[in-house]
Structure 1
C-alpha cells in the first residue's frame, strides 16, 4: 500500500465527504446532545503466521468507516457504517433523533495537543512482503538449530496502521495516526516423550525495524526456548496457601485484570466496583502506587489522544496505598463531576468509547528482589502468566502460571507445572509485604477485553511479594 502524503485523504474524498462538510454534519446531527462526536477511521492491517516449517497464512485487509455518537444525560445513541460519506452520516444522524434530549450546554471540548508519541509512518509500507516471510523462515530455522529437543516452532508477525479523526459539534477536530507491530515466537520442546511449550513476544507503536532486528528476534527465540526447556524439568505444583513472589514486567497482567478494571470510571459511577466511593481511603499496603499512563512514547497501550480526542496523561490511581482516583472517558467524568483522564477508548469506528486502561503498572519500591526471595521459607515464584478468569466487579481472579518455581528457604528448588493463583485483587493489594526496585513494563504484547471490545494495552510492575495467596496445584 502506498501511503499518501496527507493521511487524512484516506478519510475524505471530494465525491463523498470533505472536512468542512464533516464539521457541518457533526454540528447538525449532534445539536441537541450534551456531548458526542463523529469518529472517522481508516485501518490497514496484516498478519503472517509460520508454523510447522511453512507459511500457514498471510492476511491483509483495509477498512474505513465512521461512528456517530450522541450523549444525552446517561443515555448514548450510536450508529456506524463502513462507508464514509455525507449521505451515510446523515442517515446515522436519524438514529440520534430517538434520544430523549433536554438540551443542556454542550460539554467543553478536549484540550488540543500537538505532541507525537509515535511515528506517523506505516509499518506495512516500510518492509516488502518477501522480507517479512523470510524473517519468519529464519526464525523457524534458527530455533530448530538451537536444540535437538525443539519439535515445533510457530512464529507470527502482525502490523497495523490506523488514521483516526474526531470531529465535534463545537468545531473541535483532532487527528491521530497510529502504527502497531508485534512479533511472537512459540516453541514446543520434547524430551523422553514429554512435550512442553514456551513463548515470547514483543511489539509497540513503532515500525517493524525493531522487532525485525536480528538481536531482537534471536532474543525472542532464546526466551521461548528457555521457557520450554524449563517447563520440561517442571514438577507438579503444590496446592495451598503460601507467599507468592511475582516477577517484574508481564506479571503486571494480574494487576491489570484483578485491580485495574475495578478502577475504571463506569463501574465506580454505578457503584459496582469494590473501589466505589473509597477515594481517600487506604485500599492497599503502604508503598503500593498504581499508575495508568497512556502518554509513554512508543508503548503498545499509548495514544497521543484517546478516541474522544482527549490527550492521554499520567493518572495516579493509588498512591502509597491510598485511593486517589479513577480513569474516565468523557461521559463518566461529566456525570461524576471530574475531568476526563484520556481513557475513552474503542476497538474501532464500529464501537462506542468506554473507560479503558492504557499502560497500567505499579511503581518500583526499595526492596532488593533477591532479598524478597530470601524471605520465603516455602513459597512460589511466578514469572509469567497465561490465561485467567476475573470477575471485574469483585476482583476475584484465577490465573494460570506458564512459568513458575517452587521456593524453599529463600532459594529456587524446581520449576513447577500446573500452578494457578487464586484470590481477589483488592485483598491481594493489602497483602503486599515487599516491593522490588526493578519495575519493568511488558514487552508490548497485551490485549485487553471489556464489553465485547479488544484494545492494545500495556502492563508492568516490580517484583512483588504477596503474603498468603491461594495456589491451586496438581501435586
Structure 2
C-alpha cells in the first residue's frame, strides 16, 4: 500500500524560527527586484539487478537551501547544505552583493493555487525493500523464460521523494512534495554469435504501485525483447537525403531538443535563440501546434508549482505553425514584460532557477501513420531514438535511431542499424508534411540538460512525416 506521509515544514524541523528566516530574507531583498529562500530535503533509492544478482543498492539523502537576490539582469546566489539562521545570514551577505547600487521595485509574488498534481507519497517506504528485490528477481526470471535467445537481463528501480519549501519576502510560503519513480529494463539477445540489446523505461510522479503492476512490467519486458530481436535482423542503413516518418511518443525527443530550448525565455532575451525575433511569424508547417504543459497530473515533467513557487500551466509555443509563446521563469518574464509561465526550474537547492521545459509535445493532426508510410517512396521509419547532440543556439541536431526501418515504395521493409538523423530544428519544423492522429506521451523516462543542470521532463507527439531530412548511415 502506498504510504501518504507529508513531511513537516522544513524550517521548523531544522530548528529555525520562521519569523527569523523571513527577517533575514527581507533584509537581503531590500532594494532588489525579486528573490526567494529555497529549501529542499530529498531522498533517493536505487536498486540494480543485473545478470541474475543484486548488483547495487544505493540510498542518498540530502538537504540544503539556496538564497537568491535578483536585481535587474543580475542575480546573486548562495547555497549551503546546512539549514540554519547563521547559514542564511552568510548566504544573504554573499547574494546581496548583486544589488550593488540598484534601486529595485519588488516584483509581485506568484499567484496562489489549489491544484495538486500528485500525492505526497514516499516511494522509498512502499513497497518494502525485500519486496522490491523480489520484484527485480521476478522480472529477471520472466524475461529469461520469455525467449530462449535472452542471455542477459538488467532491471533498475529508482524512487525519489523531494520536499521543497519556498519563502518569499512578502511572507508567502509555498510547499511541495514531489515523488518520482522509474523502472528500467534492459535485455540482450543472442543468435548465431550475434548479440543485440534494447531497453525500456517507464515512470512518473506517483508511488511504485502505479508502475510495477505485472501487466505494466511484463509489457516492458516484451517490448525490450521485441526491439532487441528486431535488431538481430537489421542491415546497415543507407545514407542520404530522404523522407522520414517518426513514430508517436518518445521520438518527440527530436523536436524537444532541436526546438524546445529555442523557446525558453532567457535565450530570447539574450538574442541567442534561432527563433529570436520570430514571434507572430510562421516558424513551422501549417497544422503544427506545440505546447509545454507542466500541469498534467502525474506526468514525469509535471510540477504543482515550479521552483520559484509559480503554479505550472499550459503554454502554447507554436499554434498552427505560428510562433505565439515562450517559456518564462520570473526573471525572464519581468525583463521581457511577460507573465511567468511556471517554467522556473532548478536541479537542486545548489542551483539557480532558469526557464526550462516541463512536458513539451506536439498536438494531434488528422493523418494516419499508414497513409504516411504509403505516401513515401523511399525513406526511413524511425520508431525509437537513443542519444543525440543539439546546438541550442542554432538548433542543429544529430540523433541516433535505436529502432528504424527502410520504407520502400510505400511499405516498411528491412530494419536498419546505424541510422542517424541530421538537421536543424528551424528547418525541420517547416518540412513537416503530415501530422498524425495517434498522439502518445513518452513512457516517463526523459531527463533534459541545460547549463549543467538536469531535470525530469515529459515528451510527446503523434506520428510525423518530415520531408528531405539527411540520414546518416553505415552502408558502404
Q: Alpha-carbon deviation of 1:78?
A: 0.3
Range that drifts further, 5-14 or 248-257: 5-14
Match of 2:59 in 1: 60
Match of 1:12 in 2: 12
Distance 1:296 1:324 in 2: 21
Matched, 1:326 2:332: no
Distance 1:315 1:242 in 2: 33
SS in 1 for 2:309: coil
Superposition map of 1:74-113 within 5 A: 74-99=73-98, 100-113=100-113
Match of 2:400 in 1: 400
Match of 2:70 in 1: 71
Match of 1:165 in 2: 165
Match of 2:48 in 1: 49
Q: Alpha-carbon deviation of 1:6?
A: 5.0
Deviations 1:192-213 (A, max 9, x none): 1111111111000000002211
Kindly indicate whether the alpha-carbon contact (under 8 Å) linking 1:11 and 1:64 is maintained by their aligned counterparts in 2: no
Q: Alpha-carbon deviation of 1:320?
A: 0.2
Q: Alpha-carbon deviation of 1:18?
A: 3.0
Kindly indicate whether the alpha-carbon contact (under 8 Å) linking 1:439 and 1:460 is maintained by their aligned counterparts in 2: yes
Distance 1:306 1:58 in 2: 30
Deviations 1:68-102 (A, max 9, x none): 00001101100000011111111111102322242
Alpha-carbon distance change, 375 to 6 in structure 1, aligned in 2, over 3 angstroms: closer
Q: Alpha-carbon deviation of 1:247?
A: 0.2
Match of 1:349 in 2: 349
Alpha-carbon distance change, 101 to 39 in structure 1, aligned in 2, over 3 angstroms: farther
Deviations 1:19-51 (A, max 9, x none): 333222221222231100000111011000111
Distance 1:116 1:145 in 2: 41
Q: Alpha-carbon deviation of 1:396?
A: 0.2
CA RMSD of aligned residues (A): 1.3
Q: Alpha-carbon deviation of 1:4?
A: 9.4
Match of 1:128 in 2: 128
Q: Alpha-carbon deviation of 1:11?
A: 4.3
Distance 1:331 1:106 in 2: 12
Q: Alpha-carbon deviation of 1:9?
A: 3.9
Q: Alpha-carbon deviation of 1:105?
A: 1.1
Match of 1:387 in 2: 387
Alpha-carbon distance change, 96 to 10 in structure 1, aligned in 2, over 3 angstroms: closer
Match of 1:141 in 2: 141
Kindly indicate whether the alpha-carbon contact (under 8 Å) linking 2:329 and 2:355 is maintained by their aligned counterparts in 1: yes
Kindly indicate whether the alpha-carbon contact (under 8 Å) linking 2:5 and 2:120 is maintained by their aligned counterparts in 1: no
Distance 1:206 1:191 in 2: 39
Kindly indicate whether the alpha-carbon contact (under 8 Å) linking 2:398 and 2:421 is maintained by their aligned counterparts in 1: yes
Q: Alpha-carbon deviation of 1:228?
A: 0.2
Matched, 1:153 2:162: no
Alpha-carbon distance change, 101 to 123 in structure 1, aligned in 2, over 3 angstroms: farther
Kindly indicate whether the alpha-carbon contact (under 8 Å) linking 1:11 and 1:41 is maintained by their aligned counterparts in 2: no
Q: Return the TM-score normalized by structure 2.
A: 0.98
Match of 1:33 in 2: 32
Alpha-carbon distance change, 76 to 377 in structure 1, aligned in 2, over 3 angstroms: same
Q: Alpha-carbon deviation of 1:3?
A: 8.1
Distance 1:358 1:120 in 2: 19
Distance 2:96 2:359 in 1: 37
Q: Alpha-carbon deviation of 1:171?
A: 1.4
SS in 1 for 2:445: coil
Distance 1:438 1:235 in 2: 28
Q: Alpha-carbon deviation of 1:103?
A: 1.7
Distance 1:137 1:96 in 2: 50
Deviations 1:388-446 (A, max 9, x none): 10000100000000000111111111110000000000000000000000111100000
Distance 1:139 1:225 in 2: 13
Superposition map of 1:277-288 within 5 A: 277-288=277-288
Kindly indicate whether the alpha-carbon contact (under 8 Å) linking 1:11 and 1:42 is maintained by their aligned counterparts in 2: no
